[in-house]
Structure 1
Amino acid sequence: MAGVDYEVEYNNRARVPEHPALIEGWASDAVAYRAQHAPRRIAYGPGNRHTIDLFEGGEGPIVVFIHGGYWQALDGSFFSHCARGLNARGISVAVPSYDLCPAVTIADIIGQMRDASRELARLGRPLVMSGHSAGGHLAACMLATDWPAFDASLPQRPVIAAYSISGLFQLEPLVETSINKALRLDTTAAKAASPLFWQPPAGTMLDAVVGETESAEYHRQSRTIVDVWGAAGVATRYGAIAAANHFTAIAPLADPDSAMVTRLRELAQG
């Protein structure tokens, strides 16, 4: 879009100078929650990062939380505490990790999350995808995946809904930013990895929420996929998380009484 400074719009760490303390807080909260509620470790591939932490909370559908970090930072261990709110409400939460750019491409990461989803689907329980930032992108990709084409042994629709927090659905704006140094996207690869341009998964549900104080581009991204997929038969919702920035937007996941946890529980219960 002409006149938009994408470097400013998408550089979340520059927009939130206190982000190191917030990320440190994630790590310490995650360690504390694992000590209280030890997860079951599931491997979905041969690599060290091809693992899922499953925090059991009940026998029904599983909510999957995919971490962010612009596909180039962090792992699932920073986000164990994001299972706390749903676990307290009787919902199991799976937190996968994945390989990072530039060692792999975003297309590779999408494939890894499909492998992780397949492993979870084999447990025989429906999946609700959620994720933050790059994880919000990956959650939408999982909802829009043609699962019978990926693996004919899977149910027709193993992923029943997605809840994207500060997600990215159109990746072309990143191509000319410093973020792309690790991603190595050109325009063609960026469009191919953009779920906005995939076949919308009609008959499913997508919520796209954004921190109230996030950049205009983050709000535009979520509004756009809600409008485009909604017109194609997906039950979509857009929302803003009051007073939240890009890093505090996930905080409600740890609170059993938050509107975010209540909504994810609704999605899991159909």
Structure 2
Amino acid sequence: MKVLQLDVTDDWQVRGAVKQVKQRLSEDKGLWAVVNNAGIAVCSEIEWCSVIQFQQLMDVNVIGVVRVTKAFLPLIRHSQGRIINVASLAGRFTFPTFSAYSMSKKACIAFSDGLRLEMAKFNVNVITVEPGLYRTPITSEDYLINLNRKSWAETPTEIKNDYGEEYFDAFLKNMSEHVRRARSNVSEVIDQMEEAVTSKYPYSRYVPYWVTYIRTSILTYLPTSLSDKVFKRYCVKADVSVKKQS
């Protein structure tokens, strides 16, 4: 194993990584797989999620995937290998407070779908792994609470007045409750990443944990009116009094 320091938002570092990988490849064996797993997350309502946060998520979760994939793609084509992009079920469904994150993961899936079709002529597999909510550093309760407190403090006063401190406190409590339900068995995701890399005939899409797979399959076929009712269950249970101009 050779570990490289790599910032997926930095062109120079990505080019350096490609150079080092090329130096270590033998003549008879090419690069078999690239797994794009770098990602960041924000769990925040849109009105106090800053534009900078939206941009950061897109830079890492989308442009980072594009940058690394394009850099290594010639090596993958030559070996008829595969690209594995770790997306999320948030890329298929948008939950309340996950709009920014879902945008980035939807874009990641769209990129993967297009690349899969284009790479078929080279016998290159492009695969997405789409986990639900798992207990990882980016879903740390303390991290998300601190991030939201900072965003809330920087939100214009008139917007905070419309929501109210009581609502924001209820939001933090609601978010914490959902994060605590995250699955701890991250090996379910790793196993499917491994299968995506090693299987002779991999699926185009992997959804870790069979119960989650069944639930998402059902949600896919629900009309919007019903799926909205399902997703609204994740909204904050609190009254908001919005001041209206006379």
- TM value normalised by structure 1: 0.32
- Where is the strand percentage greater, Structure 1 or Structure 2? 1
- Where is the helix percentage greater, Structure 1 or Structure 2? 2
